[in-house]
Amino acid sequence: MAGKATAQQKKRQQVWAWTLTAGVLVVAVVIGVNSGDSDTGVPAPVADERSGTVPILRAAADSQGICYGWELLDVYDEVSVGSNLGDGTSVIDAPGCTRWIAVSANVRYTSSSSESEDSATIRIKGSDDIEFTDLAAIETRLGRFGLDEEAFVDDPGWAVTRAATILPLLAAERGLAEPAATPTAGPPAAAAPLPDAGNDFWRDRWIYVLSSVGLFLLAALFLAVGVRQRRRHRVRVPAQRAGAGAAGRTRSRR
């Protein structure tokens, strides 16, 4: 009897150990899901992108007489702003900039559990003396340089500063100013390339993949425990039957 009780205690301990392991795995998956849902902030341009953009805009403004700038928004929150006047200085209604053009990008990231998709809205703003048709044409022509909605969603910081540096060229194409003079300063730091298209797939779906793997491992764990218990049960039953038969024959001889 003591041996049987000890075996039952060991069995219970093993079941509790497996259950605890499965619980820890489930908690880890839930924590991963919750942490992925909170990662919806729009990243600002890195320091090199901002510092490399300002001199280009300053040279174009001095040559063409038009101020240029950018602004990046996270729905209602301002993420980054800059212009030929400097990083952090808006060109809109700035003193000394009676004529200006700026690119405005509003990016919205959704959580991985949401059915909505990430989106970006790009607008070209300008002073009152610049016609709406000219601003709309500049906005449309950004697509020639790969600066469409997808580019702003993938890397908003790079896209908005890159678009700002192209504004002087597009303004000259519309006849708003003469072509900007070639800057005499050294070339700016090379802009970072757009991330691989596959990155967006994993950013949106890695939580689901992790959850599926976790559930698969949990199911395999319970299956292994069930098979092991069933095998032990089959081994004990024949042994008990053999012992009972031997005892019966002994009593019959008496």
What is the per-residue DSSP string for 108-135? E---TT-SSPPEEEEEEEE-TTS-HHHH
What whole-number distance in Å separates Cα of residue 235 and Cα of residue 218?
A: 26
- Which tens digit of pLDDT belongs to each residue from 218-239? 767 767 766 666 666 666 655 5
- Which tens digit of pLDDT belongs to each residue from 176-195? 989 877 655 445 555 566 55
Specify the pTM.
0.59
pLDDT at res. 220 = 72
Mean pLDDT of the chain: 78
Annotate 25-38 with three-state secondary structure: HHHHHHHHHHHHHC
Is the pLDDT score of 3 beyond 80?
A: no
Averaged pLDDT, 122-136: 96
Averaged pLDDT, 82-94: 94
What whole-number distance in Å separates Cα of residue 73 and Cα of residue 63?
A: 29
CB atoms within 10 A of CB 72: 26
Map residue 198 onto helix, strand or coil. Answer: helix
- Tell me the CA distances in angstroms from 90 to 67, 104, 175, one per residue in order: 10, 11, 24
What whole-number distance in Å separates Cα of residue 82 and Cα of residue 157?
A: 12
